Amino acid sequence: MTRTVVIGLLRAVNVGGRKLTSAQLRAAAEGLGYTDVKTYVNSGNVVVVAPHGAPATADALGAALTAEAGFDVPVVARTASAWHAVVEACPFSDEARDDPSHLVVVAWDGPVAETAGAFDPARYGNERLVWARTELYAYYPDGIGRSRLTLPVLEKAAGRGGTARNWNTVLALDALAREREAGGQG
C-alpha cells in the first residue's frame, strides 16, 4: 500500500469561538488510521502519513473534524513533495531570511482564478504579492495584524478559500514532513 506524507492546514479554527485543540486534531487523524501524526502549534497544523494523497486526506480529515467540533472545519492539504516545492519556490528569499514573521504563504483549496495575478495590493498598503497556481506568497513589511489586506480580500481576488501560515510555520511543517519521509514512511 502506498503511504504518503501529507500536511493538513485547518482553516478558521481557534478564532471567533471556533475552538479545536491539537489533541482533538491528533485524535481525529489517528482515528482515520493515519500514522506518525504530529501537530504543530495550536493553530490547526498537522503532518501525517496517510494511505492516500492530499485531496482525500483533506476531505476525510475535514469531515472527521467537523463531526468532532460541531462546526465546519475546512482543511487544505499538500503532499510533502508539494510543500517542499512551495518552500523552494519562495520568491522572497531576503525576506524569508531577514523577516520571516512578516512573510506568509496562503494555501488555496484549489487553483486560483486566472485574474488573481492582476490584483493590485497597492490600495491596501505596502504589501507585496506573488501568486502561484495554488499558493500565494505575501510579504507584509508593516506587519500582518493591522494590514487591510486580509485573507477575505485575498480570497475574493483568488476566487478560492485558503488558509495562511507565516514563513516560520511553513519551514517547521516542512521539517516535520522531511522527518516523516526520512523515517521510510513517506
Reported confidence tier of residue 13, pLDDT bands at 50, 70, 90? confident
Is the C-alpha dihedral spanning 164, 166, 93, 78 positive or negative? negative
Q: What is the DSSP code string of 27-71?
A: HHHHHTT-EEEEE-TTTTEEEEEESS-HHHHHHHHHHHHHHHHSS
Reported confidence tier of residue 186, pLDDT bands at 50, 70, 90? very low
Q: What is the pLDDT of residue 14?
A: 62
Strand duo 35-39 + 103-108: pairing? unpaired
Is pLDDT above 50 for 184? yes
Q: Residues 95-125: pLDDT tens digits?
A: 999 999 999 999 999 999 999 989 999 999 9
Reported confidence tier of residue 185, pLDDT bands at 50, 70, 90? very low
Q: Residues 115-158: pLDDT tens digits?
A: 998 999 999 999 999 999 999 999 999 999 889 999 999 999 99
3-state secondary structure of 143: coil
- Tell me the pTM: 0.93
Q: Residues 25-48: pLDDT tens digits?
A: 999 999 999 999 999 988 789 999
On average, the pLDDT of the chain sits at 93
